[in-house]
């Protein structure tokens, strides 16, 4: 039976989607419901009905789950900033582990793989070292906050829960200064206004701060005074950049940067090495847990002095540079040219000489290395959500390293890729999830695959 839009129903929640929405069934028709946990009974309003599933909204809870974390505010759920925050942390970790287990079970090659317990954070809040905050006008006033899920309505927010609290303070100060200096917030529909986003990065160990102000036009009236006031209150700010981005595309940053204050980068430390981080480069947003994740990856790789290691999707080089002194040679590849510039500087900064880097897509560079005779014994991959390209898997299997360590931020593409390696003679040993993104539905894990068809 398909419900009608605007109908009110009493429903029992039986499951959670991988994005943390409650699932209820009317006969066999699934309804997805925000802020509703398995075991809860709710009175819900049907908002949207499709052919195969629909969406409803809780009007009233008739029974609560004992796994509910009452402390979470509605706006953090509505915006997706903390879309699992309504679940106790212990249950979040179980949920993430089960997701990987279920995906592995669906694949005949992988049914008997053990998934370790998720390594969680001791204090699972305030961990993000980077914030990308939209700036919009709400009720006639410039506001910083976050979009309501699946919309472009900005919800004003001051406490983001999962961000470094100093970053929250700097965002508030930027908002207040934008207001004070009469700067206009961007309006997406009318395509008017100046300030689109403010991005703040703060080194976990160094405490150095970078602020990027994304604007539609080059000129920011009285920007020197604004920055003077900002830096006077937060002397940790070492870099202020402007990014000029006139069009409406989904990318937050364009290539057009303009240095407004200080230097073009900040530095931070990771597993004892120093890193130079520039604005367009990827850098793990949870430093404390990235260290745990990397150490887990290195434990699995069990490296020795003779190893030749490929660090694919290397960003600013953090993985390869952490292990360079334990191995013979490291090759890194990354598609963002600025990140490779950073990686080269980072190698120098830490006195490391046995690394070499190439800019390009991993799936294009990997075959180049193969034809040049590079013989890796270990390949470490850390791709974005879409996982590995087929061409990469093919050439990786062609060079036949003893071990492949796969770091993944998306269990769906990860299980797909691991199954491909399994068809090519690589045995998946064990999966260790590490919680890089507490309070959110994102699942990070690391695995070792070793070659069995020698
Ligand atoms: N290993 C790094 C970065 C991981 S994030 C770290 O731990 O910090 C994934 C990286 O892959 C990003 O830096 C992104 O720019 C890069 N990337 C995305 N697609 C790519 C491709 N096809 N080939 C190479 N690098 C790619």
Helix or strand holding residue 213 (H, E)? strand 209-215
Q: Does residue 335 have its Cβ closer than 6 Å to ligand 1?
A: yes
Q: Is residue 380 in contact with ligand 1, taking CB distance under 6 Å?
A: no
Atom of ligand 1 nearest to the CA of 283: 8
Pocket test for ligand 1, best of 252, 293, 383 (most atoms within 8 A of CB): 383
Categorize the per-residue pLDDT at 71 as very low, low, confident or very high, splitting at 50, 70 and 90: confident
Residue 34 C-alpha to ligand 1 middle, in angstroms? Answer: 32
Q: Which residues pair with 31 in a beta bridge?
A: 24, 54
Arithmetic mean of pLDDT, 348-360? 98
Say how far apart CA 245 and CA 429 lie, in whole Å.
46
User: What confidence tier does 282 reach under pLDDT thresholds 50, 70, 90?
Assistant: very high
The residue behind tokens 């894990």 is: 445
Say how many Å lie between the CA of residue 108 and the centre of ligand 1.
29
Decide: 265 in ligand 1 pocket, CB within 6 A.
Answer: no
Residue 320 near ligand 1, beta carbon < 6 Å = no
Atom of ligand 1 nearest to the CA of 339: 13
Our answer on whether the CB atom of 333 is closer than 6 Å to any ligand 1 atom is: yes
Confidence band for 256, pLDDT divided at 50, 70 and 90 = very high
Measured in Å, residue 292 CA sits from the centre of ligand 1 at 19
Other CB atoms within a 10 A radius of the CB of residue 130 amount to 18
Does residue 332 line the site of ligand 1, with CB under 6 A? Answer: no
Is pLDDT of 454 > 60? no
Token pair in block for residue 362: 């991993």
Using the mean position of ligand 1's atoms as its centre, give its distance from the Cα of residue 283 in Å: 10
Separation of first and last alpha carbons in the chain: 56
For 221-236, what is the mean pLDDT?
A: 98
Query: What's this model's pTM, rounded to 2 decimal places?
Result: 0.95
Identify whether 314 is a catalytic site residue. Answer: no
Mutation test residue for ligand 1: of 275, 282, 293, 320, the one with most atoms within 8 Å of CB: 282
35 ligand 1 Cβ < 6 A? no
The lowest-confidence range among 31-35, 107-111, 145-149, 399-403 is 107-111
Q: How many angstroms separate the CA atoms of 1 and 414, rounded?
A: 36
Confidence of residue 228 (pLDDT cuts 50, 70, 90): very high
Whether 382 is in the pocket of ligand 1, judged by its Cβ within 6 Å, is yes
The alpha carbon of 319 and the centre of ligand 1 are apart by a number of angstroms equal to 11
Kindly give, in sequence order, each residue whose CB lies less than 8 Å from that of residue 8, ignoring residues fewer than 6 positions away.
43, 44, 45, 46, 59
Catalytic-role residue among 174, 314, 397, 409? 409
Looking at the predicted structure, is the pLDDT value of residue 199 above 60?
yes
Pairing of the two strands 29-33 and 54-63: parallel
359 lines ligand 1 (CB under 6 A): no
Query: Which protein residue's CA is at the shortest distance from atom 13 of ligand 1?
Result: 315
Centre of ligand 1 to C-alpha 312, Å, is 7
CA atoms within 13 A on the CB side of 300: 26
Residue 68 banded pLDDT, cuts 50, 70, 90: very high
Tens-place pLDDT, residues 40-66: 999 999 999 999 999 999 999 999 999
From the CA of 386, give the closest atom in ligand 1.
Answer: 19
Tell me the pLDDT tens digit for each residue of 284-293.
999 999 999 9
Q: 98-107, 158-167, 273-282, 375-384: lowest mean pLDDT where?
A: 98-107
How far is C-alpha 414 from the chain's CA centre?
Answer: 15
Cα–Cα distance, 93 to 370 (Å, whole number): 39
pLDDT at 370 over 70: yes
**Is the beta carbon of 361 within 6 A of some atom in ligand 1?**
yes
Q: Which residue has the tokens 């992988």?
A: 110
């Amino acid at each position: 039976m398909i419900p009608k839009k605007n109908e009110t129903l009493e429903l029992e929640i039986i499951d959670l989607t991988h994005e943390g929405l409650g699932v209820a069934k009317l006969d066999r028709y699934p309804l997805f419901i925000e802020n509703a946990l398995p075991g809860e009974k709710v009175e819900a309003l049907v908002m949207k009905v499709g052919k195969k599933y629909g969406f409803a909204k809780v009007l009233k809870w008739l029974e609560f789950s004992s796994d509910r974390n009452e402390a979470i505010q509605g706006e953090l759920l509505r915006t997706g900033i903390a879309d699992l925050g309504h679940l106790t942390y212990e249950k979040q970790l179980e949920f993430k582990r089960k997701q990987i287990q279920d995906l592995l079970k669906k694949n005949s090659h992988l049914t008997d793989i053990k998934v370790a317990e998720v390594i969680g954070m001791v204090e699972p809040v305030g961990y993000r070292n980077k914030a990308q905050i939209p700036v919009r006008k709400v009720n006639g006033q410039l506001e910083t906050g976050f979009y309501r899920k699946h919309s472009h309505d900005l919800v004003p927010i001051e406490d983001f829960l999962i961000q470094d609290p100093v970053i929250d303070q700097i965002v508030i100060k930027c908002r207040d200064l934008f207001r004070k200096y009469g700067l206009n917030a961007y309006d997406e529909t009318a395509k008017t206004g100046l300030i689109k986003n403010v991005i703040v990065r703060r080194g976990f160990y160094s405490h150095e701060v970078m602020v990027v102000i994304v604007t539609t036009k080059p000129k920011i009236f009285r920007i020197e005074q604004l920055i003077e006031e900002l830096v006077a209150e937060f002397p940790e700010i070492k870099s202020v950049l402007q990014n000029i981005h006139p069009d409406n595309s989904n990318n937050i940053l364009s290539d057009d940067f303009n240095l407004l204050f200080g230097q073009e980068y900040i530095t931070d430390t990771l597993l004892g090495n120093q890193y130079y981080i520039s604005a367009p480069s990827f850098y793990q947003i949870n430093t404390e847990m990235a260290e745990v994740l990397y150490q887990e990856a290195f434990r699995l790789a069990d490296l020795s002095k003779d190893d030749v290691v490929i660090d694919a999707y290397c960003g600013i080089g953090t993985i390869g540079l952490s292990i360079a002194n334990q191995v013979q040679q490291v090759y890194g590849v990354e598609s963002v040219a600025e990140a490779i510039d950073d990686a080269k500087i980072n190698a120098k900064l830490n006195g490391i000489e046995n690394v070499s880097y190439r800019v390009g897509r991993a799936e294009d560079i990997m075959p180049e290395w193969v034809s040049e005779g590079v013989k890796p014994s270990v390949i470490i991959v850390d791709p974005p959500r879409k996982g590995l390209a087929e061409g990469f898997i093919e050439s990786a299997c062609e060079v036949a390293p003893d071990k492949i360590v796969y770091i993944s931020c998306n269990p769906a593409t990860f299980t797909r890729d691991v199954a491909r390696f399994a068809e090519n003679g690589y045995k998946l040993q064990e999966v260790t999830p590490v919680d890089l993104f507490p309070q959110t539905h994102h699942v990070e894990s690391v695995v070792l695959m070793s070659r069995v068809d020698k």
